Structure 1
Amino acid sequence: MKTKSKKRLSVVLGSMLAVSLTLSACGNSGNSEKNGNAEAGTNAGNTKVDKQVAIKYYNWDNEAQSAGTDAMLQEFMDQNPGIKVEHVTLVPGDSVEMLKKLDFLISSGEAIDVVQVPSLGGVLERATRGALAPLNEFYEKDNLVPEDEYYVNAKVDNNYYGLQYTKSSNYVMLNKDALDEAGLSVPTFGWTWDDYRDYAKKLTKGEGVDKRYGTYFHTWELYMNAPAQTMMKDPFVYDDGTTIFADPTYKYFFQLRKDMESADKSAKSYADALAAKLNYRTEFFNEEAAMILAGNWTIADPGNTEQYPHEFKTAFAPVPVPPAGSEPKDYEGKYFTSGNMLAMGATSKNKEASFKLMRFMSTAVSDNRLEFSGYKKADNETLLTKLVAGKEDMYDMDSLKYTLFDNEIQFLDGAQVMTTATSELTKIIDDGFSRFMLGNESIDKVQQWMVGEATKIINEKGVIK
């Protein structure tokens, strides 16, 4: 999603689940188990490995995540006895520092086989430096079309450099009891941010310390311009490499935020959210707010009543779309999705074995998988069943399954143009939003300033194509 836009709410689901629940390693019974293993073997790819080889799998697992990864790697080795895989955790629990260490290893000439990268941009940046191997020949050998296999593909100059390992996406969580009380139905795809504003007004109840707001907007960039963060391929640049800060969604959503907190009083103020350092989960589960924009890293939370005590049922809805006249440039009506990627080092001496492992990790049916897969044919519903097991009464399951899996919900292809100046551009979003919300500068003046600052940075840093 984007937890801060630079993460794009791509927070690893497994790291959240490790704290809130323990996944059982129960296998399927009877023929279904046999079929599951057969499918995993097929999905791992048909590339042949003729002799025993040793390869390394690099990532940034923390201790809890490492156990799941090790179990999946063992499954792979059991099915492929000719390949030995060493799991190398470069920097436990820190993807940013992990990438720095990875770059050092690459520059020192170490043979990198398979590496988990936290974002599409991380793959594209290293691909343009020649650090990663193109995957085209392996896809062709196995008669695979990448776009048919994965939601997001890392592609530079018609060469594929990474495949999607995990899948994250955004949604809205709603207090189902509050909806019923207000006579409101659970929204479906196509509801707009104007509808969201209307829902928030109708869900606002009470006064003072007993007030329940219709919604809560957290302090991340996701909540400063949700359409740009959830319905555009990249939150910083268009496909032509120019800044998106001139996009009509900025004027629309900045004004929506101000109107909802100042005129409607259906959302806590941005100033209060900053000053009190509020927690968005606490705001929702403590019934301080009836709706919140979140993402699939929170799926386990409604059932985790020990950490988040509450009695109401949680419903789910797709992210609202911008109303007519406020759509982003090149609007497709599809959602952004992200996730961790798998890539192969250009220096790998065992590329066939490495690709076989990449396919297995991204496609295998495994009880050890803790995160939704970026593989289009994955059975993510089975994983969902495990995540909510025993707590189904805390969920509106129909709306959850619809929001996550219905064919009406479509996703954008991965961005083909990105910038390396994400931290600088993120600061411009933060500063521009603060100038509008707290400094009362006009939206036109703020947007003009944002565009000017972003253009200077993009011209200086360039873009990845």
Structure 2
Amino acid sequence: MKLTKVMAMIASTALIVLLGACGSGNSSNTASSSKKNDKITLTYLDYDGTRDANNNLVSENMAKAYHKLHPNITVKVDLQAENNSVDFLKKLDLLQMSGTTGDIIHTPSYREYSARAAKGFFADITSNFDKEGGYKKLYDYDATVSGKQYAVPFQPGIYMTFINKTMLDAAGEKLPTTGWTWDDYAKLAKKLTKGSGSNKVYGSYMHIWPEFRREGLFNSVMDNPYIKKDGTSNLKSSQFTDWLTFMKGLETSGSQLPYSDAKATNMNYRDVFLQGKAGMIVMGTWFFDDILNTQKFPHDFQTVLAPFPVFENGKAGVTQGAVSYLSVAKKSKHPKEAYDFIRYMSGKGSVAQNIFPSTKGGDIASVLKAKIGKNTKLLDATSALSIWDNKNMVPNMVTRDADKFVEIDSIFDTETQKFMLGNQSASQTMTNVNNQAKSIIGK
């Protein structure tokens, strides 16, 4: 249902109440009263406007492919806000007020998903997973909220080290392998650095997102880096100051493009790497599509992939992870059919549309090879697959105390910017973060 219609309903309080009451019958029950051959239409609320070469929505391609397999199921894609998850979530919240959230809902991150699961937006589908052997048997990316699952993970990504092979070869260096450390990264960055002034090529670039000011901790601290499992603060850990010091050291050595320059000009990390301004960048696997898009990002060098480096007490194979979520709306009249569709989307449906599957044992290789096609001179599939297929690969995401994480991360962002711009020390930065976060952690 489009927003204009929803707003009309919201304008009438009586109608809202009536709709909410009428739609409350299914709650979290995932059993369906529909017969096997009944004609069923599922409404899929989405924000992802990704299109194929023929300008068709990939989500609609997936819906049509599913319909061929299940002729009695038609999935209607309702694109509420194309490629704008912020606006989409605002509209989703309005739809929830009216009681018209369709059957399937796409949320962009664990934080947004878990917050709405706690508010009762989604059906509890834990029992559905149990019938298939349990959630952990099916997925590596967590969807647990207060001990239950309300979604399947979708469109997964992991962070890798992207390296310009031409520069790597010119430096006489080999591609790093599993177990290499951030100290190794710093040494390689120095060897990849060359030139001076406006023609200088840096060995490394760390983007201006706040996550890069704690990037090393993704390998050494599982889940929420700010709050321990027992609910107490982790902000006094020396790993924060150690990482900030490491970041600054890359800059002072001349090996990394300065944060101040990147911030002042609002640099695009895609341009920095693909225009050859930096030889190495740590980024998520969604970057593959940009590397292969030479019309938008013209370049002729091959990108090779190295694992996420190990920091201090970290473990090889652990890397930063990212994923969106597909849920069954709590008031869906066809929860079983909706569940079956999102399971399809996260696995075989993704593979068929050249989207990386989120299921354990999903065919990552065929998707990557299909993406690359004949463009093997642009992206090396072998090095990428050696990382993704590593049995020790663990995607590390924030799921614990996600609401508090968001608040603390805002403080961390503000204070660490001061450090990167040379306005305060690393120790003072973390003291400030710790002092301001006490009230949040103590909630």
TM, length-normalised to structure 1? 0.81
Residue equivalent to 2:319: 335
Contact 2:309 2:316 in 1 (8 A): no
| Runs of 4+ residues deviating >6 angstroms | none
> What does the per-residue CA deviation read over 1:306-347, in whole Å, with 9 as the maximum and x for residues that have no partner?
3333332211111111034xx5xxx79622322111111221
Would the alpha carbon gap of residues 366 and 150 (structure 1) be closer, same or farther in structure 2, given more than 3 Å must change? closer
Q: Determine whether 1:437 maps to 2:427.
A: no
Residue equivalent to 2:190: 201
- Choose 375-384 or 102-111, whichever is displaced more: 102-111
Distance 2:146 2:266 in 1: 44
Residue equivalent to 2:279: 290
Deviation at 1:274, TM superposition (A): 1.3
Contact 1:302 1:308 in 2 (8 A): yes
Q: Determine whether 1:213 maps to 2:202.
A: yes
Would the alpha carbon gap of residues 254 and 367 (structure 1) be closer, same or farther in structure 2, given more than 3 Å must change? closer
Deviation at 1:455, TM superposition (A): 2.5
Residue equivalent to 1:273: 262
Counting matched residue pairs gives: 407
Structure 2: where are the runs of 5+ without partners? 1-31
Q: Which residue, out of 18, 37, 57, partners 1:67?
A: 57
Q: Which residue, out of 396, 400, 408, partners 1:417?
A: 400
Residue equivalent to 1:80: 70
Residue equivalent to 1:228: 217
Residue equivalent to 1:122: 112
Deviation at 1:130, TM superposition (A): 2.2
Q: How does 1:313-392 map to 2 (within 5 A)?
A: 313-324=302-313, 327=314, 334-365=318-349, 368-392=352-376
Q: Residue 420 of structure 1: SS of its match in structure 2? A: helix
Residue equivalent to 1:55: 42
Would the alpha carbon gap of residues 442 and 310 (structure 1) be closer, same or farther in structure 2, given more than 3 Å must change? same
Residue equivalent to 1:95: 85
Distance 1:313 1:92 in 2: 32
TM, length-normalised to structure 2? 0.84
Distance 2:104 2:219 in 1: 29
Would the alpha carbon gap of residues 148 and 49 (structure 1) be closer, same or farther in structure 2, given more than 3 Å must change? farther
Would the alpha carbon gap of residues 192 and 89 (structure 1) be closer, same or farther in structure 2, given more than 3 Å must change? same
Deviation at 1:389, TM superposition (A): 1.1
Deviation at 1:195, TM superposition (A): 0.9
Residue equivalent to 1:446: 429
Would the alpha carbon gap of residues 395 and 78 (structure 1) be closer, same or farther in structure 2, given more than 3 Å must change? closer
Would the alpha carbon gap of residues 346 and 183 (structure 1) be closer, same or farther in structure 2, given more than 3 Å must change? same
Paired residue type of 1:302? I
Q: Determine whether 1:135 maps to 2:119.
A: no
Q: How does 1:8-27 map to 2 (within 5 A)?
A: none
- Choose 278-287 or 92-101, whichever is displaced more: 278-287
Residue equivalent to 1:305: 294
Contact 1:242 1:455 in 2 (8 A): no
Q: Which residue, out of 257, 261, 279, partners 2:251?
A: 261
Residue equivalent to 2:19: none
Structure 1: where are the runs of 5+ without partners? 1-45
Residue equivalent to 2:5: none
RMSD (Å), alpha carbons:
2.5
Percent identity, aligned pairs only, is 28
